[in-house]
């Protein structure tokens, strides 16, 4: 695989070379590959089939997680989120000790390894928001909580130029990976001014289905806004809006 450096950026296939555009720019790769029917049936490709099956399941699981938090992810995710998430899920698949190769799945592995996963790699939560907070949940009564200590916005927020306000937002989801379904809830704080004045402690309370034993994921993040004539407008700046999985209970 190589980059195109010529003036005219090509797309398509010429001889044994395929020209295409990716997130890394205009690329070239050698045409080729193994016949699909051979991969399906040749015993020598058994490992390939097993890896493919597990990768496909991880891709579906990643999509369920992204959809569960779509409300906030769409405003904060980097463009490599799907591939990064699948990569981490594949590492979790390898911790599955219950199923044979090719049948392993993230739901049978150590899902807690997803705790700390950043939805926006260009703006990690630990960089955009450095105040102290804690996460709790009550499965019986059906809620998750995020408690934030008092902090100084201009010091403990990394915010874009033009931002006047911020909101702290939390979400939680119960995910059924076998069915590919989820139940979620969200809570967000009021828009607060970015200033040198200390912001008082606050908390978010997020509803979840009570008495549920399926894997629970809690996310937390910060979004930035600009106030114009009394109205807050969301700033879609991928270098600052941050969200992360801050708690996994599975």
pLDDT at 172: 98
Q: Are residues 105 and 37 in the same domain?
A: yes
Q: Are residues 107 and 130 in the same domain?
A: no
Q: Angle, nearest 10°, between helix axes 81-93 and 46-68?
A: 120
3-state helix, strand, coil in the chain (%, to 5): 25, 35, 40
Q: What is the pLDDT averaged over residues 70-81?
A: 89
Q: Are residues 129 and 245 in the same domain?
A: yes
pLDDT at 76: 87
pTM of the model: 0.83
CB proximity list for 193: less than 8 A, separation 6 or greater: 153, 164, 165
Q: Are residues 245 and 139 in the same domain?
A: yes
pLDDT at 111: 98
Q: What is the pLDDT averaged over residues 163-191?
A: 97
Q: For residue 15, what are the domain limits? A: 2-111
Residue where a domain stops, chosen among 77, 111, 145: 111
Q: Which residues of 135-164 are buried (b: 16+ CB within 10 A; e: fewer)?
A: bebebeebbbbbebeebebeebbebbeebb
**CATH number of the domain where residue 231 is located:** 2.60.40
Q: What is the pLDDT averaged over residues 213-236?
A: 94
235 domain residue, yes or no: yes
118 domain residue, yes or no: no
Q: Are residues 129 and 244 in the same domain?
A: yes
Residue where a domain stops, chosen among 111, 138, 161: 111
Q: Are residues 98 and 200 in the same domain?
A: no
Q: Are residues 21 and 87 in the same domain?
A: yes
Q: Are residues 245 and 130 in the same domain?
A: yes
Pairwise CA distance, residues 76 & 61, whole Å: 20
């Amino acid at each position: 695989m190589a980059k195109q450096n010529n003036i005219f950026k090509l797309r398509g296939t010429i001889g044994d070379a395929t020209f295409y555009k990716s997130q890394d720019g205009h690329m070239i790769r050698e045409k080729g590959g193994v016949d699909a029917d051979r991969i399906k049936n040749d015993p020598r490709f058994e490992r390939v089939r097993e890896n493919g099956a597990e990768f496909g399941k991880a891709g579906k699981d990643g999509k369920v997680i992204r959809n569960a938090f779509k409300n906030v992810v769409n405003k904060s995710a980097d463009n490599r989120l799907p591939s990064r998430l699948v990569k981490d899920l594949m590492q979790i698949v390898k911790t599955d000790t219950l199923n044979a190769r090719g049948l392993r799945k993230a739901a049978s592995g150590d899902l807690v390894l997803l705790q700390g996963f950043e939805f926006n790699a260009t703006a990690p939560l630990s960089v955009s928001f450095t105040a102290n907070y804690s996460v709790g949940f009550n499965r019986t009564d059906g809620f998750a909580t995020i408690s934030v200590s008092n902090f100084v916005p201009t010091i403990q927020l990394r915010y874009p130029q033009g931002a006047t306000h911020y909101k702290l937002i939390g979400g939680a989801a119960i995910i059924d990976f076998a069915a590919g379904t989820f139940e979620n809830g969200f809570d967000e704080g009021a828009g607060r001014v970015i200033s040198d004045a200390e912001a008082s402690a606050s908390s978010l309370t997020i509803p979840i289905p009570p008495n549920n034993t399926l894997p629970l994921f809690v996310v937390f993040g910060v979004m930035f806004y600009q106030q114009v004539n009394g109205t807050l407008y969301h700033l879609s700046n991928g270098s600052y809006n941050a969200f992360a999985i801050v708690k996994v209970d599975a």
